[in-house]
A and B are shown apart, each in its own frame.
Chain A
Amino acid sequence: MENKNQKKVLESLNVTKYFHDPVTIKILNNINFSLYESEFVSIIGKSGCGKSTLLYILSTMDTDYEGDIAIDGVSMKGKSEKILAQVRNEKIGFVFQFHYLLNEFSVLKNVMLPGLKLGKYSEKEIEHKAYEKLKILGIENEALKMPNQLSGGQKQRVAIARALINDPLLIMGDEPTGNLDKKNSQIVFDIFQELAQEFKQTLLIVTHDNEFAARTTRIIEMEDGQIIRM
């Protein structure tokens, strides 16, 4: 279901990666695919098929690969660590399996951090935006609590709010429901769906939950470092 009229958000061109320890293994083999604006895509595959590895390459955090990736039409090959950090800050929102909130800061401050780093808006505006995002996720009442006072599902929702703070081009998730129970998984999925449908948010989610994947708009299936269905 490729749509040529839509803007390409992310493109992977012949991405190949090797693991060298303890022996050299080709973990990704010539991955080519494109992600268009407001798509809700899931990547599925068995453990060890390289789906997470691919996600980290696409996220610009892993730079040890062959081939090229383009985010918003700009090639990321050979860019400095500082520029890549800026790209992540501005264009990519992250949700991990583990929430990774900073326990030293309140929920609100955690959500605000990437916005403060971007420095595009004043602190007041960022605070206002953070409240808006928390409202979308239905946890605005927890804003002033510390992360360790929240439940697992709430923490994950805070992490999603943090991913949204800079209105990113793309949200990436690495098994975002992997640590959650059925009910909370459902809540998180509903949030993703709402973001995709109402806010036209582009999403790329790695999961091994086939039920989750089945409800996304497009599934990329991987096996042994190659894409077998997309």
Chain B
Amino acid sequence: MNNKLIFQIAISLLLARWKQTLVAAIGVTFSITMFVTLLSFMTGLNDLLDGLILNRTAHVRLFKELSISKNQPTDLYYKNSKGHNFIRSVKPKNERLDITNSGAIISTLQKDARVLGVAPKITAQVFYNVGSIDLTGVINGIEPLEENRLFKFNDYVTSGNFLDLKNIPNSVILGKGLAEKMMVSIGDVVQVTTSKGERLSLKVVGFFQSGLQDIDKVQSYASIKTTQKLLGASANYITDIQVKLKDILGAPVAAKEFESFYEVDAIDIQTANSQFETGSSVRSLISYAVGITLLIVAGFGIYNILNMMIYEKMDSIAILKAVGFSGADVNKIFISIALSIGIFGGAMGLLGGLGLSSLIDQIPFNTDSLPTVKTYPINYNPNFYIIGGIFSIITTYFAGYFPARKASSIDPVIIIRGK
């Protein structure tokens, strides 16, 4: 009963000054709208830029690096002597680049509970023959289906069908930049030579555009089998095993474990791309800082309006106290006023934020480097709305707190006698 009455009084005071109230509410609405939009847009952009690399990169990559042996014979021989060994100009042994026992490793990895998927890959250095000129490049041998499931391969194939890699023997998908250099179109045949001198004719079935021009100028994709044939290698020749985990954060630990367990080299995504993480977190930090500043400014607006309202309503407060409303009741009245402004303004702001961000989502955004993106990226993360909503209530509460305390401590005698 009492709370209902207090709320009624608060609403009446609000409506009596509805223009000021509206201005205060618009302040909150504006700041929440901007807060939500800014964060959605910024995070959308972050996700886009990160996805550019992170989506296409394995969480853990297993490979074999040609390097000198860590255990040199002299070290073993003189293990117990007190002197030091100095060895200069050690050269790596000519070893095969493929991962030993790759079939077993892949099937074991596929059974691991942490692993989302495994995609084998072969990297082959080649020359593309264009008339009398040879262009250096790389052909990646992949399993198209698995590559698409784990790394969204199809998103980057701008023309042609990626499944043709599997269905048409000796086929290749060329980088867009490379295709332009070679002036070939789909259906043409290109000649490639491996570093060992093997030659093969490959049919172009599509183009891909990764967003990174340097890559598009040198790389092509072919199926594993085609690449093995190109290299003259056996059917178990695999140079890389790409592992995608269910939880990306587990990558560093998993990489270490795989490295020692399978006796191969392993690198995790965090080590390989540490710069992206830093960039994203700084950008979100800036968005939050700007958003919260906007809210605090709106809070000062509410503070001012409530303060003015208290001076205007001094008489009303005094008489409420004289007829039996306690200081705590008066306090509640003004806190309710502030919170009503906050909740109303905040709710409108959340709607406004949703509207504005979906509007931005419709704005065309075409760039050569990002073939899959047609409009500005927006991340509709519900957390932004929750944070915005909670923050609008907290700010308005504090904006109302001090004026309300002042109102509750008004001495009715001074005001009534003053007349």
Q: Which residues of A contact B (CB under 8 A)?
A: 52, 56, 59, 61-62, 81-82, 85-86, 88-90, 94, 96-98, 100-105, 113-114, 116-119, 162, 174
Contact = CB atoms under 8 A, between A and B. Distances in A.
Interface stretch (B116-124, B132-140, B161-169, B321-329): B321-329
A89 B413 contact: no
B98 interface: no
Contact of B321 (A61, A97, A118): A61
A68 to B, nearest CB: 19
B1 interface: yes
Closest 5 CB pairs between A and B? A89-B324, A85-B326, A100-B319, A104-B12, A114-B323
Contacts of B319: 100-102
B68 interface: no
B81 interface: no
Contacts of A174: 416
A114 B323 CA distance: 6
Contacts of B15: 104
7 contacts: A59-B322, A85-B329, A89-B323, A104-B13, A113-B320, A113-B323, A119-B1
B2 A62 contact: no
B417 interface: yes
Contacts of B316: 102, 104
B324 A114 contact: yes
A172 to B, nearest CB: 10
A101 B5 CA distance: 17
B318 interface: yes
Interface string B306-319: 00000000011011
Interface in B77-104: none
A56 B318 CA distance: 13
A118 B324 contact: yes
A86 B325 CA distance: 7
B417 A117 contact: no
A118 B419 CA distance: 27
Size band of the B side of the interface? Answer: 20 to 34
Contacts of A102: 12, 316, 319-320
B183 interface: no
Contacts of A100: 315, 318-319, 322, 416
Interface in B2-26: 2, 5, 12-13, 15-16
B412 interface: yes
Contacts of B315: 100
Given A89-B324, A113-B323, A117-B2, A96 B416 contact: yes
B328 A82 contact: yes
A117 B323 contact: yes
A179 B411 CA distance: 23
B71 to A, nearest CB: 84
Given A56-B413, A116-B1, 18 more contacts: A56-B417, A59-B322, A81-B326, A85-B327, A88-B323, A88-B324, A94-B323, A96-B322, A97-B419, A98-B416, A100-B315, A105-B12, A113-B323, A114-B323, A117-B323, A117-B329, A118-B324, A174-B416
Contact of B324 (A52, A62, A86): A86
A97 B322 CA distance: 14
Contacts of A116: 1, 5
A206 to B, nearest CB: 11
Nearest to B323: A114
